[in-house]
């Protein structure tokens, strides 16, 4: 199993670090356009092998896609990160050109790779990667929902005073501060609905805090978060590499599911060796259906910007 992570910034390096620590792949390539960055971070990680006890080989490359040849899975994190006050949507012009170029370069050397998109705006970048590459839809996966759902579980755990691991809670829709939909009505604490324990005001607070989870961190640290996004990317890599058949919320191409067509949005999917293998349709109430439709409209408007670039 060979995995390439494109972009050796905070998110990409964290993703690669999670992959090597868990020995998910035999080989990891970290690639970046900044001279020496990926090589230096790869060496730094390799120097932890004797301390942490892993045997995965990791190497860095400055822009040489030949070194990524025959990758089974590729994680794309490259592009400008968010700054305080910046929305994910504002990144579209710059990051569209970067992501399209990366996808084309990757497929030149790894035509059978499964591609995971982390770059923002993630829903639109996932759609761009799919439409520009013409790959089978199951081989293009946007990471956003996995991250948003983890943040949802964190917020719930803070209010319930419980372990996030004991919670089942998902976020669907777009990966944006106004487009994501934390499904509070479906969230459970070891099979018991969380609404049994939380007041309506608490429920609204959890949903609100989840939706601005990324913006909150951007304001606090001055740039996009990296630990949770990197871990979410690595979790998807692990599910593919080990054929786990795990259920994640991911941004995938919809062809009639949830009443949407020709769009990539976050929905529950089964992740295994073939990429995303099955969309799981859950019953949404009328309010959730309306929110999902509104989210789709907003993402579609962003996708339309691609036509002007």
- Report the C-alpha gap between 56 and 150 in whole angstroms: 27
CA distances from 261 to 123, 253, 266, 276 (A): 14, 8, 13, 17
236-239, long-range: CB < 8 A, 24+ apart: 236/116, 236/141, 236/143, 236/146, 236/271, 237/3, 237/15, 237/19, 237/24, 237/25, 237/73, 237/75, 237/116, 238/19, 238/22, 238/24, 239/271, 239/272
Which candidate in 88, 151, 153, 175 is catalytic?
175
Cβ atoms of residues 16 and 25 within 8 Å: no
User: DSSP character for 270?
Assistant: E
Does residue 159 have an active-site annotation? no
The first and second tokens of residue 271, run together, are 């992740």
Q: Show the DSSP H helices in 134-222 as ranges.
A: 144-160, 200-211, 213-221
Enzyme catalytic residues: 175
């Amino acid at each position: 199993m060979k995995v390439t992570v494109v972009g050796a910034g905070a998110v990409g390096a964290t993703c690669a670090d999670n992959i090597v620590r868990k020995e998910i792949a035999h080989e990891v390539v970290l690639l970046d356009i900044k001279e020496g960055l990926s090589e230096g971070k790869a060496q730094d990680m390799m120097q932890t092998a004797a301390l942490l006890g892993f045997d995965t080989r990791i190497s860095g490359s400055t822009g040489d896609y030949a070194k990524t040849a025959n990758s089974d899975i590729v994680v794309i994190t490259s592009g400008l990160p968010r700054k305080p006050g910046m929305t994910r949507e504002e990144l579209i012009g710059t990051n569209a050109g970067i992501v399209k170029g990366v996808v084309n370069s990757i497929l030149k050397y790894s035509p059978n790779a499964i591609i995971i998109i982390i770059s923002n705006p993630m829903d639109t970048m996932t759609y761009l990667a799919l439409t520009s590459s013409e790959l089978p839809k199951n081989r293009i996966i946007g990471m956003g929902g996995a991250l948003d759902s983890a943040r949802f579980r964190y917020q719930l755990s803070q209010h319930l005073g419980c372990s996030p691991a004991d919670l089942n809670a998902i976020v669907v829709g777009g990966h944006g501060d106004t487009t994501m939909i934390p499904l509070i009505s479906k969230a459970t604490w070891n099979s018991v609905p969380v609404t049994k324990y939380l007041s309506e005001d608490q429920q609204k607070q959890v949903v609100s805090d989840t939706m601005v989870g990324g913006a909150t961190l951007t304001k606090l640290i001055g740039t996009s978060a990296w630990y949770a996004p990197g871990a979410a990317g690595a979790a998807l890599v692990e599910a593919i590499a080990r054929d786990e058949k795990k259920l994640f919320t991911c941004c995938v191409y919809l062809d009639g599911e949830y009443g949407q067509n020709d769009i990539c949005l976050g929905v529950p999917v089964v992740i295994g060796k073939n990429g995303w293998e099955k969309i799981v349709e859950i019953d949404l109430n009328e309010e959730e259906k309306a929110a999902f439709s509104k989210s789709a409209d907003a993402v579609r408007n962003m996708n339309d910007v691609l036509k002007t670039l």
